Structure 1
Amino acid sequence: MRVVMAPGSFPPHLTAPEAARELTAGWLSVRPRDVVVPRPLPDGGEGTPAAVAAAAPDARVRRVPGCTGPDHRTAVGAYLAFPDGTVLIELGRLGAAAGQLHGAALTATSRGAGELLAHALDHGARRLMLAPGERAALDGGAGLLSALGMRLLDTAGCVLPDGGGALARVARIDRSRLLPPPDGGVVVLLDTDRPLLGPAGAAAFDAPRQGGGPAEAADLDRGLARLAALLGGDAERPGAGAAGGAAHALASAWGAVSVRAARGLCELLGLGKELAAADLVLTGSGQEDPEAGYGPLTAEVARLAVTAGTAVTALPGAARQLRRIASGLAARPLP
């Protein structure tokens, strides 16, 4: 029997790769002759490249020293490169500086994410897949676009400093030096439906998490609105506020398309083909409540399993003893 272990994370106890290992160990303790394939699935949030790397042995981690951290200090960036030219980058995390945003809601920059994108393009990236992550700078992707060659200018024609606090002074945008996107396109893996602006937008949600009060959130929202007016695009589109507004910037300036993170990552990992060759898949996430309906990750795995004609079992969202649960499932009569 061939079984695929495709769990998400079970915070705060287990990452997705750890959950897959626990399920694998539990199943093999009862059915040691079965073929068990671990395929941990990230949700598009923090740690997405690391979780994908655990499920994709052909992917290579590329480290990029000398990047600009969100607090403007030098940091080491990294991204995941696949043999077919696909590159996966987490926009909201950059080296050791990733946790140093508290109190920096107005000044934090996404420039380092743009530097990673530029590095990937310089090294042959054909398609970019971008996970928002959890710790994005609230600059609407301005720093990211600046690293790619775009210039944000004030009324005197001077280049604005990095940080969301300066966006209200943007008078015009110079796109003449903006690097083109790769031929294979740019995909943003959405883990939120947050719009860019307003009471449910990026500034209202993220500013308090970065130590900003109502005044800072209002200033940032005004700046994001000014940037959006110059960039164009649909600031009210669900997901436009992902990664501190970088999702909107990439859609407007680079034509990036957005897909649900679960669907995009399952496609990247070739889960559909894996399930077509399997008899059973176990999936689930600790962030789900089965009584309220399963979340997008479990729903996507179940959709792929139905398409492949493969049996699927969803784990309870509150699971803590995954090894025991897997061994119990393995001990039951199987179809």
Structure 2
Amino acid sequence: MNGAVLVCLDKFRGSLTAAQACAHVVDGVTGAGGRAVAMPVADGGEGTVEALVRAGYDEVRVEVAGPTGRRVQAGFAVRGGRAVVEMAQASGLDVLPGGRSAPLTADTYGTGELIRAALDQGCLDLVLAVGGSATTDGGAGLLRALGARITGPSGVPIGPGGAALTGAARVDLSGLDLRLRLARVTLVSDVDNPLSGPDGAAAVFGPQKGATPGDVEVLERGLRRFAEVMAEETGRDLSGEPGAGAAGGTGFAALAALDARRASGADFVLRAIGVEDALREASLVVVGEGRFDEQSLRGKAPIGVAEAARRHGVPVVVIAGDIRLTPRRLRDVGVVAAWSLLERAGDLDTAIGQAPALLKAIGRELVTHVPIVVAQGG
């Protein structure tokens, strides 16, 4: 291989961060005498700030409310007047105390605190990267942190979480931080779901956050009610807009109250970290994530890298924890070889426990031969 191996892995959920996964493959390549460059990727969810910091952004750390109100440390990425707020750091599944879900009460107040901290840094180009949230509160908590009031029939503020939205009678946005009037807000996500309905935030994503069928019904009622009172306040109903259902409806709050524009999370991150430039020096690109399946092909970061590599004529291989695509489907998207940690390890526990060693071994194999066929399991 003449050029470097460009390693662009996303997170292996439950096992390794994107940066850790990339580092193990790079170790294998360099240990076998090859050259490799780690470029962790993300699609607007977990790992977005980490990827940007590696690409030259500065990180600002602050203490904010977690999804259940317990204080957590969270960070956002800053370059010039731009701040990238990763919702998962403040309101994500990974920061739930003890990993215990709270589908009815988890809220996004901490994400609003992150936005306020970014404004305090003088940033008026605000990028809200959503994904991996523990919440289904329609972004109500985020708006409260920025100065909005959401009250019940008696004028008393409602409680946190999506269930409390069923009692919402009025939204007052007049107290929103005045600096937001000068700011440009971009919502980045790989989700185009509406706020409510069978394809909405509660029905589709609620169960992933621990919601029972009964919980989903409550959350659905809350989101519909929130959309109604928000429309009364703003004069427009954006609940059906693509992306309104992102991150438990946080997309809705950004679109309806912060006048956000929507962009692909993967496209934003890949541009920001300079993937196109890195491809000019690469002879092989490694993409992948914990599970590589049809969902990976719908706007996720790994397939974004693969598409860019094809434009540059650079071959692409996949390394993933589990591969749910057929060899033919992989070839259709330009993948010349693939390795599944699950197939190689034989069972899930081994694949997770030995992921670092497995990734390093596959990195060595990338140097010893140029892959030309799909070879799941190695």
Structure 1 and Structure 2 fold alike (TM over 0.5): yes
Aligned to 1:90: 86
Q: Is the contact made by 1:188 and 1:257 (CA closer than 8 Å) also made in structure 2?
A: yes
Change (3 A) 1:176 1:13: closer
Change (3 A) 1:183 1:29: farther
Distance 1:293 1:176 in 2: 41
Aligned to 2:184: 185
Distance 1:38 1:22 in 2: 9
Q: 1:304 aligns with which of 282, 289, 308?
A: 308
SS in 1 for 2:187: strand
| Identity level (%) | 34
Aligned to 1:38: 38
1:26 is the counterpart of 2:28:
yes
1:14 is the counterpart of 2:16:
yes
Distance 1:215 1:59 in 2: 43
1:225 is the counterpart of 2:260:
no
Aligned to 2:196: 197
Aligned to 1:256: 260
SS in 1 for 2:315: strand
Q: Is the contact made by 1:127 and 1:182 (CA closer than 8 Å) also made in structure 2?
A: no
Q: Is the contact made by 1:280 and 1:310 (CA closer than 8 Å) also made in structure 2?
A: no
Kindly report structure 1 stretches of 4+ aligned residues shifted beyond 6 Å: none
Change (3 A) 1:333 1:174: closer
SS in 1 for 2:291: coil
Using the TM superposition, give the Cα deviation of residue 326 of structure 1 relative to its aligned residue in structure 2, in angstroms: 2.7
Distance 2:250 2:286 in 1: 34
TM-score by length of 2: 0.76
Using the TM superposition, give the Cα deviation of residue 141 of structure 1 relative to its aligned residue in structure 2, in angstroms: 0.6
1:232-272 deviation per Cα after TM superposition (whole angstroms, max 9, x unaligned): 44323333212111111101111212223221211121212
The number of equivalent residue pairs is 327
Using the TM superposition, give the Cα deviation of residue 132 of structure 1 relative to its aligned residue in structure 2, in angstroms: 2.1
SS in 2 for 1:240: coil
5+ residue gaps in structure 1?
none
Change (3 A) 1:108 1:30: closer
SS in 2 for 1:81: strand
Aligned to 1:50: 50
Using the TM superposition, give the Cα deviation of residue 134 of structure 1 relative to its aligned residue in structure 2, in angstroms: 2.0
Distance 2:8 2:80 in 1: 23
Distance 2:212 2:25 in 1: 43
Q: Which amino acid aligns with 1:221?
A: E
Structure with greater helix percent: 2
Q: Is the contact made by 1:92 and 1:137 (CA closer than 8 Å) also made in structure 2?
A: no
Q: Is the contact made by 2:102 and 2:210 (CA closer than 8 Å) also made in structure 1?
A: yes
Q: Which amino acid aligns with 1:89?
A: V
Aligned to 1:69: 66
Using the TM superposition, give the Cα deviation of residue 154 of structure 1 relative to its aligned residue in structure 2, in angstroms: 2.9
Using the TM superposition, give the Cα deviation of residue 108 of structure 1 relative to its aligned residue in structure 2, in angstroms: 2.2
Q: Is the contact made by 2:206 and 2:248 (CA closer than 8 Å) also made in structure 1?
A: no
Change (3 A) 1:326 1:111: same
Aligned to 1:242: 246
Using the TM superposition, give the Cα deviation of residue 119 of structure 1 relative to its aligned residue in structure 2, in angstroms: 0.9
SS in 2 for 1:46: coil
Distance 1:103 1:24 in 2: 35
Q: 1:129 aligns with which of 111, 127, 130?
A: 127
Taking only aligned residues, the RMSD between alpha carbons, in angstroms, comes to 2.9
Change (3 A) 1:280 1:82: farther
Using the TM superposition, give the Cα deviation of residue 211 of structure 1 relative to its aligned residue in structure 2, in angstroms: 4.5
